[in-house]
Amino acid sequence: MSALRRLGFNAYIVAVYGFLFLPLVVIALFAFHRGDNPTRWPPDLFTLQWFEAIIQDAAMLRALRNSFLVGLAAVSISAILGTAAAFAIHRYRFRGASVFYALTMLPSFVPGLVLGIALLIFFTTVGVERSLLTVIIAHVTFLTPVVLSAVLTRLERLSPSYEQASRDLGANAWQTFRLVTLPNLRTALVGALLFAFTLSFDNIVLTFFVTSFDKTLPVEFWGRLRFGLTPVTNALATIMVGFSIVLIIVANRFMNAE
């Protein structure tokens, strides 16, 4: 019975991972398909012409640049806000701390559709034109909780004796933070920022509502996908998935490091 249960468990794992990743494998195979038909099976491998087509596509490269610009800006701002919020919650006891924490974490639990519509209404009401700036602001709203959660978790595991020893040796608050606290938070913070950048780079639902003519890569991809699958869209999807998987793996290693 033990061997049977183990066999059943292994079959379940294979089925789950097959369901999750088999479509990605199929898309990757079609990205190297020689023909113009993106759904012909089996694919006629092997060519790089569709990846070359992406490099020669000015609109695609512009969208890629916008995605990196938005991601880097949003992650940088979220790093400051999330770290500051984590220190405020962990180090200081103030009235309404639990409410502050709940409100800060709320955007991570609100569906992207609802958050996107709310931000669209807000920007329209205050008269802010949609642009990459509004996309950055929107991304900061849901990336800050990611940084907050990671930094707060590491702060709770950090022994206060390190900082106390630093202060006893004559270091001021800034020196203690820069030389003692920040190095102990570095792995968790770097992991959180990489994961946050992945979320920003792949986001389409929230971005769709607050962007303008300056499209990010997922929005550009969605716009082309509405006209049907092409080998170029398969190649682009393969690049996006591969890039996201690498970032998530690296982020996970940093966040689980001591």
Q: Is the pLDDT of residue 257 over 70?
A: no
Query: To 10 degrees, what angle do helices 58-91 and 132-157 make?
Result: 40
Q: Is the pLDDT of residue 196 over 80?
A: yes
Note whether 142 and 77 are within 8 A (CB).
Answer: no
Rounded Cα distance between 146 and 160, Å, is: 23
- Find the mean pLDDT for residues 241-255: 77
Superfamily assignment of 59-255 in CATH? MetI-like (1.10.3720.10)
- Find the mean pLDDT for residues 113-140: 89
Q: With bands split at pLDDT 50, 70 and 90, how would you rate the model's confidence at 139?
A: very high
Determine the pLDDT at residue 233. Answer: 77
Determine the pLDDT at residue 258. Answer: 57
Determine the pLDDT at residue 74. Answer: 93
Determine the pLDDT at residue 1. Answer: 54
Give pLDDT tens digits for 68-107.
999 999 999 999 998 888 888 887 777 777 888 888 888 8
Note whether 139 and 200 are within 8 A (CB).
Answer: yes
Determine the pLDDT at residue 16. Answer: 85
- Structure token pair of residue 102: 């709940």
- Residue 162 CB partners (closer than 8 Å, separation 6+): 180, 181, 184
Q: With bands split at pLDDT 50, 70 and 90, how would you rate the model's confidence at 241?
A: confident
Note whether 43 and 102 are within 8 A (CB).
Answer: no
- Find the mean pLDDT for residues 210-229: 80
Give pLDDT tens digits for 13-67.
888 888 877 877 777 777 777 766 656 666 666 777 778 877 887 888 888 889 8
With vertex at residue 130, the alpha carbon angle to CA 212 and CA 225, rounded to the nearest 5 degrees, is 25
Q: What is the average pLDDT score of the chain?
A: 81
- Per-domain boundaries in the chain: 59-255
Rounded Cα distance between 230 and 236, Å, is: 10
Note whether 209 and 117 are within 8 A (CB).
Answer: yes
Highest-scoring range by mean pLDDT, 131-140, 155-164, 169-178: 131-140
Q: Global pTM?
A: 0.79
Give pLDDT tens digits for 140-160.
998 999 889 888 888 888 777
